[in-house]
Structure 1
Amino acid sequence: MRELIRRAWEVGAGMDRVVFLSIIAVVGGGWLFLAIADEVVEGESARFDEAVLLMFRNPENPEDAIGGPEIEELIRDLTALGGVAIISLVTISAVVFLIMDRKGHAAVLVLLATVGGQLISSGLKAYYDRPRPEIVPHLMHAARGSFPSGHSLLAAVTYLTIGALLAQMVTQRRLKVFILGVAVIITMMVGVSRIYLGVHYPTDVLAGWTLGFIWATLCAQVAQWLRQRGMVEQAIDA
């Protein structure tokens, strides 16, 4: 293992630091997703999944989520941020903004990233075909497969991709941190909301986050590669 790490570091020494870290993130994320999927297929994640789901419910009555009706309504609003309707609205808004700002290539990249994320989600749901949780009642309607969480995946893909792209278009570090921070927080809230509502296992959400992060990282690197070749618009002063 030490020798492998040393060789990887030597290879990375001759590369751009961001590119090297992105490769490590993608490889590590891929390994993590496969590890989660293996645990799910083998049924070894059941105890963990059930324990976390029950954490969000009244021990005396699993039909009641902690926090009461007001919190349930708030969580439903948050989970909508990862739904097809809101994701489509955010994507279209970002695309229109980029086009109006004369960043047409960036707009196309955002659109392709989101559509690609949807295809990845649909394909993997069909492949794994994991049933929805039954240990607790669902607090909202949910259809199709459970693994990976489509809301979590799409939230990560959309918000992280748009966040990374916008962060590359500003020069001030504090603006970059703010943009990426908001993207990460929204992505996390969507994932946790799916567990709270009982429509996804925690491993579904972790897998969705992981895949979304991988796809967003790849899209960000494609944007950077195209930008260096003058095919995606350069950063602006802000």
Structure 2
Amino acid sequence: MTDPAPPAERRTPPPLPTGPLRPVLVGAMRLARARFHDLRAAIGLVVLAGAALAALLGVTFAWVAHRVRAGSTQAFDEGVLRWVAAHRIPWLESTLLELTFLGTGTVVVTIAGVAALFLTLTRQRTAAALLLWSTLGAILLNNVLKAAFVRPRPELFTWGTHVRTTSFPSGHAMSAAAIYGTVAFLAARLAPQRRTRIAIYAVAAVLIVLVAASRVYLGVHYPTDVAAGLLVGFAWAAFCTAALEAGQFLGGRRRRTGDDGGETGERQPAASTRSNTRSK
């Protein structure tokens, strides 16, 4: 005599990913299901929201770039640098010289690589891929923009560090905004408490501001170079993180495979239908 067949497995819908974009994601999902009755439309709205923010920042960058190319920002840029030159403090300059290296390509790639390795080891493979894509994409995009604008470096006072590339937009500011912003987003997704997430974003914001300010204080960038770099960096980070949220939701439907970010389990074998030991 064999045992009766086990009841059919009940599948529960995958939980939504946690993170700072969760309220936006939930609202978009509800709106799409109510209007379109289509899960793909809901995911599309999330990606569209990130793309819209990226586009808004991109349009603002284009406006700044147009003003810079027309020369209408030159008086402002030089005025700020002259003020900086008249108020330089030796100990602050040496401190910012150390902090500015946090925006170099070697440093940000190293930080992104270590963070991606940690995410991979904790089964956050989608997040790790996003971080590497965000880092390499930001560096490539900055090189393209510099080649397109070819703005000379300011020469109002002796530079506090050595530079070799053109000025617009600031690669350090752009890298800091894109990479540290993305790392903060990914770290905050893993934080269980709201105050911890706030602290993570605060630290990232301070680092970004210090790197950006150091470029002007050391005399190697105009203020508009730095502003443009921040705009493009945040635009790229916004698009990448929105794409991650959408991918994370799709990955939630395969949570037991352990193949997507935020997953911690492996696929469990189906319930066995083997018979118990026959009674004699």
TM-score range relative to shorter protein: 0.7 to 0.9
Q: Is contact 2:124-2:262 (8 Å) kept?
A: no
Partner Cα distance (2:89, 2:55) in 1:
39
Give 5+ residue unaligned stretches, structure 1: 1-11, 59-64
1:5 is aligned to none
Q: Which of these two proteins has the greater Rg computed from alpha carbons?
A: 2
Structure 2: gaps spanning 5 or more residues: 1-27, 33-41, 252-258, 265-280
d(CA) in 2 for partners of 1:22, 1:56: 36
Give the deviation of 1:95 after TM superposition.
Answer: 1.2
Seen in structure 2, the aligned counterparts of structure 1 residues 219 and 232 have a Cα distance that, compared at 3 Å, is farther
Paired-residue identity, %: 35
1:30 paired with 2:58, answer: yes
Write the distance in 1 (CA, Å) between the matches of 2:262 and 2:249.
Answer: 8
Partner SS, residue 148 of structure 1: coil
Residues 209/79 of structure 1: CA separation in 2 closer, same or farther (3 Å cut)? same
Q: CA deviation at 1:235?
A: 8.0
Match of 1:55 among 74, 78, 83: 83
Structure number with the bigger relative contact order (C-alpha 8 A, sep ≥ 6) is 2
Is 1:145 the counterpart of 2:166? The answer is yes
CA distance, structure 1, for counterparts of residue 48 and residue 203 of structure 2:
25
The farther-off stretch of 118-127 and 20-29 is 20-29
Give the distance between the partners of 1:168 and 1:194, measured in 2 at CA. 30
The answer as to whether partners of 1:223 and 1:232 remain within 8 angstroms in 2 is no
Structure 1 length normalisation: TM-score? 0.84
Instruction: Name whichever of 162-171 and 216-225 sits farther off.
Output: 162-171
Q: Are 2:136 and 1:108 aligned?
A: no
* Counterpart residue number, 1:7: none
- After superposition, residues 51-200 of structure 1 pair within 5 angstroms as 51-58=79-86, 66-68=88-90, 70-200=91-221
- Cα distance in 2 for partners of 1:24, 1:157 equals 17
8 Å Cα contact 1:169-1:235 kept in structure 2: no
Quickly say closer, same or farther: Cα 1:81–1:74, change in 2 above 3 A: same
Provide the TM-score with structure 2 as the length reference: 0.72
**Structure-2 change in CA distance of 1:185 and 1:199 (3 Å):** same
Letter in 1 for 2:113: I
The aligned amino acid for 2:71 is G
**What amino acid sits opposite 1:131 in the alignment?**
P
* Alpha carbons 1:165, 1:223 under 8 Å: kept: no
* Residues paired across the two proteins, number: 218
Matched, 1:224 2:245: yes
Structure 1 runs of 4+ with >3 Å offset: 12-24
In 2, are the aligned partners of 1:191 and 1:205 still within 8 Å (CA)? yes
- The answer to whether 1:46 aligns with 2:68 is no
Q: Is the 8 A contact 1:49 1:201 kept in 2?
A: yes
Q: Distance in 2 between matches of 1:101 and 1:78?
A: 30
Pick from 232, 235, 245: which aligns with 1:214?
235
Check conservation: 1:170, 1:235, Cα contact below 8 A: no
